Amino acid sequence: MTQSQPLLSRVADAVYWMARYIERAENVARFLDVNHNLMLDLPKAYTGQWQPVVDTTGDGAVFRERYGHADQRNVLHFLAFDPGYANSIYSCIRAARENARSVRETISSEMWQQINNLYLLITEESRRETPSSLPAFCHAVRMACHLFAGILDVTMSHNEAWHFLRVGTLLERADKTSRILDVKYFILLPSVHDVGTPYDDVQWAAVLKSVSGFEMYRKRYGRIAPDRIVEFLLLDGDFPRAIRYCIGRADRSLRAITGTPAASFSCASEQRLGLLRSELDFARVEPILSAGLHEFCDALQTKMNTIDESVLNDFFAQQPGPAGAARP
Amino acid sequence: MEINRAEAARMFFSSYQTEGFFDEMFEAGGAVRPHAQLVLETINSLDGGQLLRHKHAAERLLLQLGITFNVYGDNQGAERIFPFDLIPRIVPAAEWDYLERGLKQRIHALNCFIDDIYHEQKIVKDGAIPADIITSAASYREQCHGLKPPFGVWCHITGTDLVRDRDGQYYVLEDNLRVPSGVSYVLENREVLKRIFPRVFEGLQVRPVNEYASRLLEMLESLAPYPQGQPRVVVLTPGIYNSAYFEHSFLAQQMGVQLVEGRDLVVSGGDVFMRTTKGLQRVDVIYRRVDDDFLDPEAFRPDSLLGVPGLMAAYRAGRVALANAPGNGIADDKVIYAYVPEMIRYYENEDPILPNVPTYLCWRDADRSHVLANLDKLVVKSANESGGYGMLVGPHSTAAQREEFAAKIAAQPRNFIAQPTLALSRVPTIVEDHFEGRHVDLRPYVLCGKEIFVLPGGLTRVAMRKGSLVVNSSQGGGSKDTWVLAHDPAPRAGQGQGQEQ
């Protein structure tokens, strides 16, 4: 990479978080949409399943404290529009936009416009007296996020700032996929009496759909089987929402930033990301399942948090000021 | 079709009155001015719905582009677009030539004056300007004494406010030398109008404004302290909560340079550096959009969190260039403004091309008595404020407001000036579904390095409220695109002169 334009630490921090928040907003929209879709396919007895969606975010306790029993209406409000909840779609988009605003000269005008459109979409929606249908809303958010990803790819130079954006996106995505896996596997597997019933298939299909992985999984494995689904979402090297894919690409972007050759490291972030990458590259799913998927996902999330902290220390911490990137 | 057009024209302009004001589009008798003919025809070719659709499209576009300003203290939907009116203000080529000559003359004299004030003060010694109004000016900066900025230039970027009175005569209202803003609206307004009225641009030769960013970068690079290598220019902003933040990032983006905040910069070993992911990198030129007082807590206000400790020392040692030069606000003081014609005569030995608005200085006894006796007719301004703050518009004031100002003037006469209330010129402006005249001013932008460049265009600010003379955005003003014509249309009598050449 050429050294023509050095990147301010503050700017690197802001683009990294901008990307994380956009990705987070997209994932929340996915969770909502797929769960709603799932409810429509299941018999009435199952339709209480809104609590798991909240659990996927890791903020179940916050929700219970403020809203009590989970139903479609209050979960939608909490996850989509609640300005007091830091990870609602609204808060994420707002934080992404604040960050984008502080680095507007670094990103392309088209990217800024798209984030701004997304912000206008969500603020208009949150003010509506009668909300749009949930699927239509989630679809609009997802498509706006996809459009952002496309605009990012074709309008911004793939320079250092772009690689920071990628690292932010990929770490966030890996984290969310691991949470979906964890929560769904935990909830779906104990219902032994459902194994082999149509409902079981429907629910596992929903897991795949929540990461847009249903069709790609079918092509790869055909039959719906929990172990294979875990293998696909955890260890696939080609599917862009699989954890191994995300970690591999994040590692690549980090090396593009530092210029360090593969199989070596120059800072803590590279070392930790490299370790996780090779762990996933050489893993098999059976030992993971027999040792416990939940434990594995837990450890994975801890490792990713440590990587996030290392990135902060290695690249953003030169910033002397009191305030970092905007967080909700 | 013809009937529709006639109806449309009737709807738009049937009740339009110039009401005795100078109108930029119509002559006193109601005939359209030749340079506005094509625009008028274009508007008349639209039906009413179309024009309003264009207006909404333009507003939507500005909102999507995020061309907004912050409304302080409002958290939800805190951003508003700067109101924008579709109907351009058109300046004929010959008129622009005059303005350009006047502005160049004025900026040159102002630079000579500031350089003189911070060195020998010859103009004071020779008695052309009284000494005590210099030292009593709030914007006088002792710390700048003896500084030698490149080319002796202190005002690199200026946004001079011009107004026209009832007879059409242009006057300089304010010089705005410190951190003038608004040029981003000039560039963005043009983009919007080009999308909405492409055919008018094909038919008229409107001078482009988009070279501004290149000119600005070129000028800034010319100030670099170290001759070797590509100089590194940055724009210094107070941050995203500043009301002009959009402009700061826009200009940095258009020039392809870094936008930095004070906390991104550090002075080390006498040079200024920015903190990057790969360590410290030297900075050569800073286009600063932070006021003098907040630039450097070691030199100015010690409580400033926006500034860079040690920046003034680096500047004084010639290790970094600052634009605009700190201290140049001395010539922005409204009392000193009154002496700009004297400066032009003193430094250039010429008469001023552009006149000042006649100004009463309240520290002079005779002027003060006149001002106090005529508060209901005059506009009173405090010497060191801008943005339409600290101002009394006599004819629109209440008795209580006048009393308040009379007391202030008596207490601090040096702080106040007064000017006659000008009947600012007007431009047709969309009000609901028709046009009404609204008062405007004009802010051209001038760049000054080795040479002076006047951007052919400018910000036309418009008082959106009926009868209002206050055009400031903080006080409900909007803006219009300003078209400077490359050639004036042939006079209507002299037909046969092709306009297509």
Q: For A228-264, write each residue's pLDDT tens digit.
A: 999 999 999 999 999 999 999 999 999 999 999 888 8
Q: Taking CB atoms and an 8 Å limit, are B249 and A105 in contact across chains?
A: yes
CB contact under 8 A, B277 and A3: no
Residue A298 phi, psi (nearest 5): -60, -50
Q: Encode pLDDT of B414-423 as tens digits.
A: 999 999 999 9
Question: Which region among B60-74, B158-172, B253-267, B426-440 has the lowest average model confidence (pLDDT)?
Answer: B60-74
Contact status, residue B479 vs residue B460, Cβ threshold 8 Å: yes
- For B25, B71, B160, B170, B482, the CA distances from B425, given in Å and listed in that order, are 10, 29, 17, 10, 14
**Nearest Cα residue in chain A from B63:** A116
pLDDT for position B498: 37
Annotate B453-492 with three-state secondary structure: EECCCCEEEEECCCCCCCCCHHHCEEEEEEEEECCCCCCC
Peptide bond into B324 cis (omega under 30): yes
Nearest to B416 by CA among B470, B357, B368, B469: B368
- CA torsion sign, A262 to A263 to A268 to A273? positive
Task: Write out chain A residues lying below 8 Å of B277, CB-based.
Answer: 6-9, 12, 160, 257, 315-316, 318
- DSSP element (H, E) containing B357: none
The answer to whether the CB atoms of B64 and A120 lie below 8 A apart is yes
Residue pair A75/A54 in contact by the 8 Å Cβ criterion? yes
Identify all chain B residues contacting A159, using CB atoms and an 8 Å cutoff: none
At residue B386, the pLDDT reads 66
Question: Torsions phi, psi of B446, nearest 5?
Answer: -125, 130
Select the residue of B76, B239, B275 nearest A318 (Cβ to Cβ). B275
- Looking at residue A309, its pLDDT comes to 94
Instruction: Give B254→chain A minimum CA distance, Å.
Output: 8
In contact, B35 and B485? CB cutoff 8 Å: yes
Which of A105, A316, A319 is the best residue to mutate to test the B interface, defined by the most B CB atoms within 10 Å of its own CB? A105
- Intra-chain end-to-end CA distance of chain A, in Å: 33
Average pLDDT score over residue span B133-148: 91
ipTM of the predicted structure? 0.73
Q: What is the pTM of this model?
A: 0.84
Average pLDDT estimate for A261-281: 93
For residue B46, what pLDDT band results from cuts at 50, 70 and 90?
confident
- Is A3's CB within 8 Å of B261's CB? no
Predicted pLDDT at B346: 97
| For residue A3, pLDDT beyond 50 | no
Judge contact between B335 and B137, C-beta under 8 A.
Answer: yes
B71 φ, ψ (degrees, to nearest 5)? -105, 115
The DSSP result for B22-50, as a single string, is -BSSB-TTSPBPGGGHHHHHHHHHS-HHH
Range of lowest pLDDT (A15-29, B90-104, B383-397): B383-397
A317: closest chain B residue by CA: B277
Residues of B in contact with A321 (CB under 8 A): 261, 263
On the question of pLDDT at B471 being above 50, the answer is yes
User: What average pLDDT does the segment B344-369 reach?
Assistant: 96
A101 closest CB neighbour out of B77, B240, B279: B240
Closest approach of chain B CAs to the CA of A297, in angstroms?
31
From chain B, the residues in CB contact with A106 under 8 A are 259
Burial of B269 (C-beta count, 10 Å sphere; 0-12/13-18/19+): exposed
Q: Which residues, listed in sequence order, are joined to residue B260 by a DSSP beta bridge?
A: B236
Q: By a Cβ cutoff of 8 Å, what residues of chain B touch chain A?
A: 63-66, 76-77, 235, 239-240, 245, 249-250, 252-253, 257-261, 263-264, 266, 274-279, 281
Burial class (CB in 10 A: 0-12, 13-18, 19+), A23: buried
Residue B239's closest chain A neighbor by CA? Answer: A102
For residue A189, name the pLDDT band (cuts at 50, 70, 90): low
Task: Check whether B354 has a pLDDT greater than 80.
Answer: yes
DSSP string, A141-194: HHHHHHHHHHHHHHHS-SSHHHHHHHHHHHHHHHHHHHHHHHHHHHHHTT-GGG
pLDDT at residue B196 is higher than 90: no
- The answer to whether B264 contacts A319, with C-beta atoms less than 8 Å apart, is yes
Task: Tell me phi and psi for residue B146, to 5 degrees.
Answer: 80, 0
Q: A interface mutation test: which of B249, B268, B277 has the most A CBs within 10 A?
A: B277
Residues of B in contact with A125 (CB under 8 A): none
**Count of CB pairs separated by less than 8 Å, A with B:** 80
Question: How sure is the predictor about B93, in pLDDT bands with cuts at 50, 70 and 90?
Answer: very high
Q: Quick one: average pLDDT of B449-467?
A: 95
The arithmetic mean of pLDDT across residues A29-41, rounded, is 81
Hey, which residues does B261 pair with through a beta bridge? B237
pLDDT confidence bin for B70, thresholds 50/70/90: low
Chain B residue numbers with beta carbons less than 8 Å from the beta carbon of A11 are 258
CA closest to A312 among chain B residues: B277
Q: Which of B66, B264, B276 sits opposite A112 (nearest CB)?
A: B66
Dist. CA A32–CA A29, nearest whole Å: 5
| pLDDT single digits (tens) A151-160 | 999 999 999 9
- Give the pLDDT score at B33: 93
* pLDDT, tens digit, 9 for 90 and up, residues B303-349: 888 899 999 999 999 999 999 999 999 999 999 999 999 999 999 99
Q: What percent of chain A has pLDDT over 70?
A: 88
Q: Are B83 and B479 in contact (CB under 8 A)?
A: yes
Task: Name the residue among B250, B255, B247, B329 with its Cα closest to residue B285.
Answer: B255
Give the chain A residue nearest B230 (alpha carbons).
Answer: A4
A285-305 pLDDT tens trace: 999 988 888 899 999 999 999
**Is A320 in contact with B66 (Cβ distance < 8 A)?**
no
Beta bridge mates, B69: B80
- Residue B496 pLDDT > 80, yes or no? no
Band of residue B495 on the pLDDT scale cut at 50, 70, 90: very low
Q: Do residue A7 and residue B266 have CB atoms under 8 angstroms apart?
A: no
Chain B residues with CB inside 8 Å of A101's CB? 66, 240, 245, 249
pLDDT of residue A310 exceeding 80, the answer is yes
Q: What is the pLDDT of residue B348?
A: 96
For residue A194, the model assigns a pLDDT of 54
State the alpha helices, DSSP H only, in chain A: 9-41, 51-56, 60-67, 72-76, 89-102, 109-127, 134-155, 160-188, 198-210, 214-221, 226-235, 243-258, 268-281, 285-291, 293-311
pLDDT value at B29 more than 90: no
The residue ranking higher by pLDDT, B458 or B467, is: B458
Distance from C-alpha of B339 to C-alpha of A188, rounded to nearest angstrom? 83
Q: Is the pLDDT of residue A1 over 60?
A: no
pLDDT at residue number B59:
85
User: Which residues are CB-neighbours of B351 under 8 A, at least 6 positions away?
Assistant: B344, B345
**Which residues make Cβ contacts (< 8 Å) with residue B59, sequence separation at least 6?**
B81, B84
Beta bridge partners of B483: B90
Contact A8 B263 (CB under 8 A): no
From chain A, the residues in CB contact with B235 under 8 A are 105
Is pLDDT of B6 > 60? no
Contact B266 A117 (CB under 8 A): no
Contact by Cβ (8 Å): A268, A314: yes
Position A48 scores a pLDDT of 65
Question: Cα separation of A207 and A226, whole Å?
Answer: 10
Nearest by CB to residue A8, choosing from B239, B245, B276, is: B276
Nearest to B276 among A6, A105, A113 (CB): A6
Round to whole Å and give the CA distance between B238 and B248. Answer: 9
d(CA A188, CA A198): 13
> What letter does residue A44 receive in the DSSP assignment?
G
Chain A residues whose CB is inside 8 A of the B245 CB are 101
**Are the Cβ atoms of A8 and B278 closer than 8 angstroms?**
no
User: Exposed e or buried b for every residue in A50-74, given b needs 16+ CB within 10 A?
Assistant: bbbbbbbbebbebbeeebeebebeb
Location of structure tokens 């934080």: A95
- Does the distance separating the beta carbons of B260 and A8 come in below 8 Å? yes
Nearest to B325 by CA among B155, B186, B106: B155
**Could you tell me which residue, B13 or A225, shows the higher pLDDT?**
A225
